[in-house]
């Protein structure tokens, strides 16, 4: 049983690292999630895969250690929140840049040659062209 879990852990970690090394934002987010699943499964496997009673006082021993299960449950919640945050940032980066290529994100945002390119979200300006620039804002003097 442990060798089966070792193979699954290896596949998850390998797929996660492969996806993390790609240039697409969505693939990187999926790679982060796969790596997290592999680590959670590793914690569960290292804790032991024996079939014992749950840690209740009314049941006779031996008992299963509840700490790895609590750690995994916490990691699942944190991983879900992190994935949601990174997907939101990736969506906004796609709206601003018009593509999801990670290598070209920093270069394309500062170039002036992108002025004639259609944006994914035409209502919002890029970070180098703030929305308030054309609103006729009054300069405040100290």
Model pLDDT, residue 48: 81
Strand partners, 53: 63
Cα distance between the two ends of the chain: 72
How far does Cα 74 stand from its chain's mean position? 16
Model pLDDT, residue 112: 47
How far does Cα 30 stand from its chain's mean position? 7
DSSP for 80-131, please give it: HHHHHHHHHHHHHHHHHHSS-BSTTHHHHHH-GGGGGSPPSSTTS--TTS-G
Per-residue pLDDT of the chain (142 residues; tens, 9 = 90+): 888 999 999 999 999 999 999 888 889 999 999 999 999 999 999 988 777 777 777 878 787 888 888 999 999 999 999 999 999 988 888 887 777 777 777 655 555 455 555 666 666 666 555 555 555 555 555 5
User: Which residue is listed with tokens 């024996």?
Assistant: 50
SS3 53: strand
Burial tier of 25 (Cβ tally within 10 Å: 0-12, 13-18, 19+): buried
Cα R_g (the chain), whole angstroms:
24
Model pLDDT, residue 132: 54
């Amino acid at each position: 049983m442990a060798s089966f879990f070792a193979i699954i852990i290896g596949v998850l970690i390998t797929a996660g690292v492969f996806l993390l090394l790609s240039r697409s934002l969505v693939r990187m987010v999926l790679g982060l999630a796969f790596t997290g699943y592999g680590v959670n499964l590793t914690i569960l496997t290292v804790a032991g895969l024996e079939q014992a009673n749950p840690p209740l006082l009314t049941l006779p021993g031996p008992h299963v250690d509840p700490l790895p299960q609590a750690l995994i449950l916490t990691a699942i919640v944190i991983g879900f929140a992190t994935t949601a945050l990174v997907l939101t940032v990736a969506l906004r980066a796609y709206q601003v840049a018009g593509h999801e290529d990670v290598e070209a994100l920093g270069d394309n945002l500062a170039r002036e040659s992108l002025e004639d390119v259609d944006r994914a979200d035409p209502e919002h300006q890029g970070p180098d062209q703030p929305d308030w620039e054309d609103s006729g804002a009054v300069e405040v003097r100290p």
